[in-house]
Structure 1
Amino acid sequence: MISSQCVSMASAAIRQARKEIDWLAVLPAQAAQAVLKTYFQAWKNCWDGRADAPGFKRRFRSVMSVDIPQGRDLNVTRVHRRWGMVNIPKVGRVRFRWTRDLPVGSHANKENRITGPRLVKDALGWHIAFRVQTLEPRPEPHTGPEVGIDMGITVPLALSDGDTRTHGEWLTEKEAAKLLRLEQRAAHRKRFRKRGERTSNRLRATYDQIAGLRARAKRKAADWQHRTTTGSPRSTA
């Protein structure tokens, strides 16, 4: 088991490193503490038999993400209806797509505020997600009938009352044809690569295009799931 003494020694080592290393001192202290907490939790899960021993993340098998624990110095502003600006440490002012209301300016207070963002990179580029602390009214108790949901293949969602939810193809006909063509090209180029040989730039570019199309389809699927669970009129599109 990880004792509190080990945690205190590791925290002291991080504080000392922040005094000696300039670039580490610029980063928020909570970021280093969060990494330390995750590391200790990984070993605890291993010793409890819930997971394997922690190791280094593989570059191409993990999602690249950066947590910014503090929301105090973000200075989030809305430029106009579709775009906003945020201050990212060590990066500067960054523009992002404004997709929903955020508690900024006069709408922000101790009970309704942004506590920090998370930067995530996928095949379509970098994205930012804000953590928001807000007070929501207690929902009214549900008094309607209970409905069971069955997830299938022929019918995506079938309800116990006889209703169903369906969706169309995630990719357009042109995008599906392009995906098939790229997959065939990648398979053809991979046949000529020798064992242990470094992946060529052309093959890597083809893989990136394939990942971009698959990420687009995955995003459409997630959007359909959100709209269906919230009862949006576009959920059956």
Structure 2
Amino acid sequence: MRQDFERWEVLVRDEARVGVLYRLLESNVLLTRILVEGDGEPYRAESRVRLEPGNGSWELSWYRDRNLGVAKLMRREPQGLPSGSMPSYGDILMLFKAIEEPGNRLRYWRLNEAAWDAQDANGHLGAEPNAHIQRVGALEQLPIPLGAAVSTHRYEAWADGVLVATHWIDEGNELVCTLWGGDLHSYRVPGTASEAGWMSLSGLDDGTVEFMTRGFDAGS
């Protein structure tokens, strides 16, 4: 499994910043927070995926978004979920596995956190994995807002027959950009974690900064 990391990404739609994405992998826990502006109240979501030490399989998933009053939990072994599964907010870990073997298609069961809780059984899952990630095409130049183009390889992530994300990986095997759906891009903010965090949150309102740094606990 890839070493611990901390990364900030800026979300862009129609060449305008519309949100922030933060990920931290530390002590076998992947923390993710995302905020996307839209009509009315911004969409907020927070996820924690705890991994089994050494093998990268997940143990527990904690998830909450704007629409949930309380967090939803998934527990892999008590719920009988396969070791080759991953909650959707852990997709970046599956991408990193796919990067390690670029010539192969990485297949897994992708789980929707909002549709599961501790009482669910694994009857939702088919006998075969519902998701895969693979590298496609040749090396290509990716234009970066306010920066120079970067040479990248493209990886496509599919789930249930739908292209859910397209990732661009630079020649150092770093994730540079992701296209979510058809119009929402996320671009990695360069620099140290503190520099990237400052750049990502600069100019945003206090509520956004508080959520991105403290999560849903910010209001307690």
Which structure features the higher share of strand residues? Answer: 2
Per the shorter chain, which TM-score range?
A: under 0.3
Higher relative contact order (CA 8 A, sep 6+): 2
Which protein shows a greater Rg?
A: 1
TM-score using structure 1 length: 0.21
TM-score (structure 2 length as normaliser): 0.22
